[in-house]
Structures are given as C-alpha cells and as structure tokens.
Amino acid sequence: MNNPNPEEIYKKLFKRNHQAAESYLLVFKKLSGQLSKIELGLWSSITQDFVEKGWHSWRCALDYLDLSSFCQNKLGNEALIHTGEFALNLLELSQQSAQSYLKGVHIALEKDRLDTILIIESCGQSLKQSYPQASNLLTDFYEIAFQFEMDALNCWCETIGSLAASGRQAVYDYVQLSQKYPEVNWEYASKLYLLSKLLGRSYIEMPELFTGKLHLEPGSEHRGKQFRKLLLQTARTHPDIDWLQVLILKSLKSEKIHQIVLLSEDDPHLLLALIEVVDCLPQDRTDALRTWVEEGRKLSLQNHAAGIAFLKLESNQGQRRLDRILGRVRLSDHQRSLKIYLEGMSDAPLRLSESQSGLVYNEENTIYLPTLIGLYNTIEENFKYLKLAITHQLASYEFGTFRFRYLDSPFPFTHFFHSFNNPDLASTLFRLLESARLDWRLEHEYKGLKQLLRKVKPEAFQSLEFDQDVHELLRFVLWLTLDGSHKGDELSEIQKEILESISILRIEGASVADTAIVLTKCYTLLTDDLGDQSICTKIPSVHYRGRLDLSSSFSVLQFGLSSEEAAKDQQDAEQLGPPAEGDISELVQGDAPDAEGIELLESMTEANETSKKELGPETVEMEGRASSEQQEHSYLYDEWDYQINDYRTAWCTLYEMRAKDENREYVSKTLLELDHVSRQVKKQLNKIRPELHQKIKGLVDGEELDLDRAISAVIDRKSGFCPSEAIYVQKQKQLRDVAALFLLDMSASTDDVIDDQDSGGNKIIDLEKKAVILMAEGLEKLGDRYAICGFSGYGRDRIEYTVCKSFDDSYDNTAKARIGGIKPCRSTRMGPAIRHASRMLQETDAKVKALIILSDGYPQDFDYGSDRSSKIYGIRDTAKALVEASGFGVISFCLTVDPSGHDYLKEMCPAKKYMVMQDISQLPTELSKIYQSLTTS
C-alpha cells in the first residue's frame, strides 16, 4: 500500500458519513507523527473498510477512530492495527459485536487493564470458531468480558471455555447470568456454574448460591446443607475435580468445624467423609471431635475403607467411639437396664421405646424416649438424665395423677378444664402444676432423685426457649415449678400470691386434688390480671418432663399405691374448699377404676396434639390399608462389612409384612400331586415323635438299679476305692419344645425352571414351596411350633420379609393360601433376613430353635459391598448372621439347589450345617430328615 492520501479518503468517507470523515481527518493528524507511512496507510484503509462494509457500519468507524489515538498511545502501533483488524473480522458477523468489542477495548484502556484484552480476544475468537453464527452471543460476551479484573476474567473465561463444549445455550445462559449479577465472586461462581452443569441442574434460580454469598448469610443454613450434599455427590462422582473440595470447605459455617475437617486434609476421601457428617457433629465440642477424627485417621492408615466408614459414622466402631468421646448415651445400648430399672420402680406393665421426634412422652403403656441423649458431656450425666425422664413419666402413675375425679365424669380432665372459660389455659396450667407436684413428690420420696432433680431443674429452665407472646406470669409459674429462686421483695403482689398457692404442692403428700385447687387459684390470679382469652398458652415443654398424657388409656391401670395413699386422696377430695371457679367442690375422688376407655371428649380437646403424634416407632402403615394385618413393620439391622472388619450400623431396613399374594388351590393341589411323598415325610417325622418316657442313667436315686454301674460300684468298694453312688435309672418324661422357622429364598432366580428330567417342569420356587407344604402337614401332626417366611428385596433400604405363617398363626386356609401365593421377587440379601428370623425364633423362648433356609444361590444384591462383582461381602455377612444366630441358641441349616453351592456354603455355614441338593426331587424327603436331625439331640 502506498502513501495514503487523507484528502481522497476524506472525500470517500464524506459521501457515506460526514461525522466519520471529520473525525478521520482529526485523528489522522494526531497519528501522522506516530505511525510510519505504511502503518498510516493500513490504519486509513481499515477505517475506510469500516465505513464501506455496510449501511450503518460507519458507527464502527467512529468507535475505532475514537480509541485510535488512545490505543496507539497505550499499546503501540501494532496493537492499533490489530484491534482494527480484529474488529473488522467481527464486523463480518455483525456490526453490534464489532462495536461492543471496540467499546470494550476502550474501557480496558481507560481502566488500564491492558493485558485482559488479549485474553478476551482469544476467548472470543474460540467462541466464534465454535459458533460462527452466534452474533448476539458475541456481542454480549464482549460487552461483559471487559468489565472484569484479570483474576476474575481468567475464571470466567475458563468457564466459558468449558461450557462451549456443552452447547451454545449453556454459554449464552452463563453470559446472561453474568450480566445480571455483576458483583459476583467469579472464582466461586464460575465453578459453581460448571458444577450445576455437571449435575444437570441449574442454579440460576438460586441467585444466592450463584453469587457465592451463601455461607455468609444467616438463614441460608438449610440450603447450605443441601448444597453441600450436592457438592459431595459430585465430588464422589468426579474425583478428578480438585477444586470441589475447596468449594465444599468454603461452605462450612463454623471456623472450628472447619479446622476439625481440615485435620484429614491430606486424604481427600477422609475429608469428604467428614464433611458429609459434619452437620451431625456438635459444633461446640471441638476438642472431643479432634480426638475422634484422629482415631479415624489412624484407622484409615491400617484399613482405608474402615477409616472412611468410621468418619462417615457408618461403622459400628465410628459411632460408638464418637458417642463415647462425646459422652452421649444411646437408648438402644441401655434399653435393657433401663427397662429393668423401670420394672423395679413400678409394677406397671410398661414398655420403653424410641421416640422418633426426640421428645419424651408416654402412650399406651409405652414410655417413649429420645434415641440419643447428648445434653451433657459425660455418659454418666446423660444416662442419669434419661433415667430421670423415665422416672418422671412413672411418677404420674405412682402419685395418682389418674385418680383425679370430677363430678363422676368419665372424662374428668376434659370436664374439669371445660369448666373454665379458657380450657386451653386451664389444661396448660394443670400440666405444668401437676408435673411440678410429681417432681416434688419424687424429691420427698427418694433422696437420691432429689439430688438429681435439684441439679437438672435449673439447667432445664436455662435451656427453655420462650415464645415472645408468653405472658410473664405464665413464665413465672414455669419458673417456680422448676424451683426458680426469688427474692420476696422483688415480687409483685400477684407473684407473691401465685408463689404462695403453688407452695401447697411442695408439701409432702400433695395429691392430684391439690393440683386442681392450685390450678383454680392460679387461673383466677392470672385471668383477673389479664382477662380470660388473651393469654398465650404456648409455653415450651420441659424436655425431661415431656408431655403429660392425660388421655392415656393407661389411666385405667391402678397400681403401686398403698391403701393409705388412696385414703388420703379421699380426704383431700373431701377437703376441697368452697367453689371458686367451676364447681371444684364437687370434685370427687375415689378408688373406683376409671372407665375411660376410648375418650371421645378427651381426644377432642387434644385433637390438635394427637395429630402431631407420630405413629408407633418403626411402624409404617401402608397407604390405603388400615387393618393391622396389612401393616408393615420396619426393623433396622446392622450388616457386617468384611472390608472394614466391622458392622455398619443400622445399615439395612427390613420390612416385615404379611404375604399379599394368595393362592388358595396351591396347597391342596400339591397334596394331591405328591401324595406318596407326603406320606414318606409324615413317616419320617413320626420317628421323632417323643417316646413318652426316656430312661436316664447314672442317677443317685431312681426306680431301678443300673446293673452295670451297681457292679462296678461294688467292685470299687471291694478294692478300697470310693464307689460312685450314681447307680440308679429313672424314667423321665421327655417333652418336645421345638420352634422351627422355614426361610424361603424368593429371589428372581427362583423363577427358573429346573432342567432335570424328574422335575416335571417345576420352578425352583415351586419346589421350595412344595417341600415346605409337606413339612407343614407333617409338623401339624407332630405338634412342633413352626413358621414359614420368605425374603427378597432390593438394596439395603428395602429388604422384604414376608410372613406366610407365624408361630402363633394356625395352619388354616389363610396360611395355606399365603404359602401358595409365594412368588419370586427380586434379590437375595440373606443377612438381614436371617437376623430377623433369628429374632422371631428367640421370641418363642423354645428350647430348640431351628432355622432352615432354602435358597437357590449365593447371597446377592446390587449394593452388597463396594465391588458389585464380588460375592465375598454377601457371603461374609451371611456367615456372620448365622454365627450371631447360633449365639442366640438358634441352630441353622442351609439347603441349596445351586449345584455350585459347595463353594460358598463351605465358607458361609458351619460345617455339616448345609447341603447341596443334587437330586432336586428329593428335597421334601431330605428336608424332613434334616429336620429330624436338627431338632432331636
């Protein structure tokens, strides 16, 4: 290109746009000293190209001219030319993109972010290559890209680069979002954005996540947890993304927890495990946690999987150690001793159970307690607390809460409360005062409990959280019931009166009638001051006291009371003062058993509370089926993981259910078909019919002499030895006390037809069923107790245990139909089924407990251990379950029709306690033989 002629170019430009032409001349003059002639020529022709490219493209020329001198000044001549050419290139696509680029460059120059320009250009370039038609995208891209500082820009562009692969829309959304939230922390946000793409979810609806402010804002805790969970999921599936962990760590709230988690920083697997449970760890016990994490780390050095399970709180050891270190108490660990304690304290037939809500309450002869108590730092304190909670529940029976009488009403509480204008307030006050009375009675009766109560009460008050609206006086009452101290001169007149009336309940021997009297007084005092309706009754409940269940059917029970006590109550009732509010003088107390039964009225007033009540523990009612027959009960079982050499706690959920499918003809058909076999089986079983008498030898006393022993005794004596005196024989009655459970494998594979010419086209499941039916027929004659159950399932969260006939069921048409209805289902997770069967057997209390398992292959499930293809996990757990069963006195036997059974049965079952059926048609007769050998010794 030769020397440019500015005049000529000016003229050309002028034809298109005056402004551009003027500007050109001006800038030309400025630049002519700086650029070489060649460069000037290039620059001029670029400007000219701009103008001539399109109808409105002179605007680009203007933009270019605008920055030219500035650009030359800051970046030099070459850059000036380059910028122009780059913009020209964009102009091929669209005028807007070129313009937004040029404006961007201008900004960068102004803000002195010179080095960002190259990065943006190269990112934009590759975008353009990927999507040559995306002019709007590029326009937006250039518009926003130049806003960033270097660091943020790098992250941002990196994300664009990665997103480019997943589609134009992804990049477009991202760019849009970037425009919307300009103040975002890009380092965080860009990663997050990538993450959401990885997960196939969008966080665009969650701006607080996107902007990275999440962990700083109060109230976002829940989302924070959710988010963390998500991050963890991703981290597990994409172990290669190292920044994920950083991100997760960032989302942890407390600095202290952060430090704890960092203890395992050197091992990302441990780190992730720890982060996963971080929300269940007490944030204020860092020292204790440190010890625990250290233990987990040490363990991981010996056995990595075990270390992870430990820190994830999945292994038995991990949970136990944490409990121990934190001093927490798990109800299940102490349930038996607490139950025994309960028996000692009360004659009432009470049960203990776990409360899902963590609250203490009683219902239908069952005291519900939290599963885990960690209010204190030591096991001892927590255990005492648990004990106190039980004792308080008991106190209402021991100290006669349910002997309350009102006007001979069958629903005395309800009637009494409804005699007040505000029954809610009356009921609230009553519960409060009655709980207080019970505590004070306990203190009078039991010195040791007094000590405990005096310690716990003030602490309990401390931990209460009051609703704003709760009136000060009500708060005061609660305070008094927890032994709150008070200075006489600081109290108002009303407070003094309340204090005085409540003090009646502190007197030794105060009865429920006293509570009613005090309630009436307090009610009057409170409402005189405040009016009836305005009082908010939402007072917090004192945790160890739980909820006093006044509708309890338990109130029917009368026990543990001396007649003196009853007589005293009678007196109290007679002494009830003049009517104050309601007809309290008519309160009548007596000994007559309370016939409350199902209390309509009672349940009316407490309807809202009852609705909150949970279903019984571990009971899941199936939808649309109300009858108890159809209920599913769920049980949690530990599972043995050989890889970590420990149990995984509460790992499997087993649902016990009644067989749903029925086949009424199956049993009778089978019996017709297999008549001859049936007779064989019966004959076999007949052999074990007990001989009514059995001779027992070697007794010191008996009806007959045992000749052999007598002779040797004589010989002993003659030869100067001390003779044995056990020379008698006695006939003794032999009773059979046998319970047998047949456990049928209902896995999908039992649907296979047996390829054996004798099989008659039977499926494995049919053979199992038929064998069991013949056994049942025989056992009915023999009189042994037996149960028939099947198992299948899918994964550790759903093991289905189907009861066709329980020990208590009779072998009637329903039972037969259920057995007939057994069908192949899904997988074979044997361990939990064996554990559950063993539990059923233990409950029979029979002397001989036999478990007979019929299966068709090795235990198998999709989540049996980390390696799906390995059979070892299932086999080892099953073996463990069998060992546990034998620890409980259950003898087991595994029968399999799997020809390759020898391989694993040898490992799974104790020697001689398994059999591989070669000839499947022999199953029924073999089964009866096995039964015989198992149940007779």
**Choice from 231, 247, 309, 338 touching other proteins (CB under 8 A):** 338
C-alpha 381/C-alpha 375 separation (Å) is: 8
Q: Which span sits near other proteins by CB under 8 A: 233-241, 311-319, 344-352, 804-812?
A: 344-352
912 is a site residue for other proteins (CB under 8 A): no
**DSSP secondary structure code for residue 690 in this structure:** P
Smallest distance, other proteins to C-beta of residue 733, A: 9
Q: Are strands 704-705 and 738-745 parallel, antiparallel or unpaired?
A: unpaired
Q: How many residues bind other proteins (CB under 8 A)?
A: 24
- Which stretch of DSSP H or E encloses residue 500? helix 493-506
Separation of alpha carbons 663 and 818, rounded Å: 6
Q: How far is the CB of 336 from other proteins (least distance, A)?
A: 5
Of the ranges 170-178, 448-456, 479-487, 614-622, which one interacts with other proteins (CB under 8 A)?
Answer: 448-456
- Please report how the helices 286-302 and 304-311 are oriented relative to each other, as an axis angle in degrees rounded to 10: 160
Interface with other proteins (CB under 8 A), residue from 147, 391, 511, 555: 391
Q: How far is CA 620 from the centre of its chain?
A: 15
Instruction: Work out whether 425 is an interface residue with other proteins (CB under 8 A).
Output: no
* 520 vs 382: CA distance, rounded Å: 36
Q: How far is the CB of 848 from other proteins (least distance, A)?
A: 19
β-pair type (704-705, 351-355): unpaired
Q: Using DSSP bridges, classify how beta strands 646-658 and 728-733 pair: parallel, antiparallel or unpaired.
A: unpaired
For residues 379 and 328, the answer to whether their CB atoms sit within 8 Å is yes
- Which long-range contacts does 6-10 make (Cβ < 8 Å, 24+ apart)? 6/44, 9/44, 9/47, 9/48
- Does 488 contact other proteins by CB under 8 A? no
- In angstroms and rounded to an integer, the radius of gyration of the C-alpha atoms of the chain is 42
**Site for other proteins (CB under 8 A): which residue of 301, 700, 735, 911?**
700
CB of 730 to other proteins, least distance (A): 9
What residues contact 265, with CB distance under 8 A and at least 6 apart? Answer: 271
Which CB atom, from 399 or from 404, has the smaller least distance to other proteins?
Answer: 399
Least Å distance between CB 732 and other proteins? 8
Which of 120, 145, 278, 449 touches other proteins by CB under 8 A? 449
> What CA–CA distance (Å, rounded) separates 520 from 829?
61
User: Which residues have CB under 8 Å from 459's CB, separation 6+?
Assistant: none
Kindly tell me which of 395 and 525 has the beta carbon lying closer to other proteins.
395
Element (H, E) at 782: helix 764-782
Q: Tell me the residue length of the chain.
A: 937
Residues 346-385 binding other proteins (CB under 8 A) are 347, 384
Among residues 35, 62, 37, the alpha carbon closest in space to that of 51 is found at: 62
Phi then psi for residue 35, to 5 deg, are: -95, 155
How far apart CA 231 and CA 201 sit, in angstroms, is: 12
Is 449 or 740 the residue whose CB approaches other proteins more closely?
Answer: 449
Q: Specify the residue, 167 or 889, whose C-beta has the smaller distance to other proteins.
A: 889
CB of 857 to other proteins, least distance (A): 40
Looking at the DSSP bridge assignments, the partners of residue 632 are: 620
Q: Among residues 387 and 770, whose Cβ is nearest to other proteins?
A: 387
Binds other proteins by CB under 8 A, chosen from 5, 179, 254, 337: 337
Instruction: For residue 336, state whether it binds other proteins (rule: CB under 8 A).
Output: yes
Q: Is the Cβ of residue 225 or residue 450 nearer to other proteins in the bound state?
A: 450
Q: Which of 876, 888, 772 is nearest to 822 (CA)?
A: 772
- 189: tokens are 């946000």
Pick one of 59, 228, 387, 543: the residue that binds other proteins (CB under 8 A).
387
Q: Does 704 bind other proteins (CB under 8 A)?
A: no
**Amino acid letter at 71?**
C
Binding region for other proteins (CB under 8 A) out of 16-24, 445-453, 654-662, 896-904: 445-453
**How far is 629 from 641, CA to CA, in rounded Å?**
35
* Nearest distance in Å: CB 509, other proteins: 16
Candidates 182, 448, 488, 624: give the one binding other proteins (CB under 8 A). Answer: 448
Interface residue with other proteins among 447, 487, 718, 912 (CB under 8 A) is: 447
Q: Which of 446, 479, 807, 811 binds other proteins (CB under 8 A)?
A: 446
Interaction of residue 389 with other proteins, rule CB under 8 A = no
Comparing CB distances to other proteins, the nearer of 445 and 863 is: 445
Assign 330 to helix, strand or coil: strand
In the complex, minimum distance from the CB of residue 346 to other proteins, in angstroms, rounded to a whole number: 8
Task: Please choose, out of 129-137, 338-346, 502-510, 873-881, the segment that lies near other proteins by the rule CB under 8 A.
Answer: 338-346
- In the set 70, 341, 479, 794, which binds other proteins (CB under 8 A)? 341
Using rule CB under 8 A, residue 694 touches other proteins: no
Beta-bridge partner residues of 367: 352, 362
Q: Tell me the C-alpha distance between 652 and 777, whole Å.
A: 34
Pull the structure tokens for residue 408: 């001979």
Per CB under 8 A, the list member of 82, 444, 450, 633 interacting with other proteins is 450
Q: Choose one: 210-218, 332-340, 749-757, 826-834; the region binding other proteins (CB under 8 A).
A: 332-340
Distance CA 335, CA 355 (A): 13
334 near other proteins (CB under 8 A): yes
Map residues 452-471 to x or -, x wherever contact with other proteins holds by CB under 8 A: x-------------------
Angle at 126 between CA 122 and CA 131, to 5 degrees: 145
Q: Return the residues of window 718-777 that contact other proteins according to CB under 8 A.
A: 725
* Helix 764-782 vs helix 923-935: crossing angle, to nearest 10: 40
Contact present, 589 and 573 (Cβ < 8 Å):
yes
Check binding of 340 to other proteins (CB under 8 A). Answer: yes
Provide, rounded to whole angstroms, the least separation between the CB of residue 765 and other proteins. 42
* Minimum gap (Å) between residue 724 Cβ and other proteins: 11
Q: Is 330 near other proteins (CB under 8 A)? A: no
In this structure, what token pair is assigned to residue 443? 């203190």
Q: What angle do CA 621, 626, 631 make, to 5 degrees?
A: 40
- Which range, of 124-132, 273-281, 339-347, 475-483, touches other proteins by CB under 8 A? 339-347
Cβ at position 349, least distance to other proteins in Å: 12
Query: Directed axis angle between helix 666-673 and helix 813-820, to 10°?
Result: 80
We find the least distance from the C-beta atom of residue 383 to other proteins, in angstroms, to be 8
The region of 127-135, 343-351, 547-555, 748-756 touching other proteins under the rule CB under 8 A is: 343-351
* Interface ranges with other proteins (CB under 8 A): 334, 336-341, 343-345, 347, 384, 387, 391, 446-452, 700-701, 725
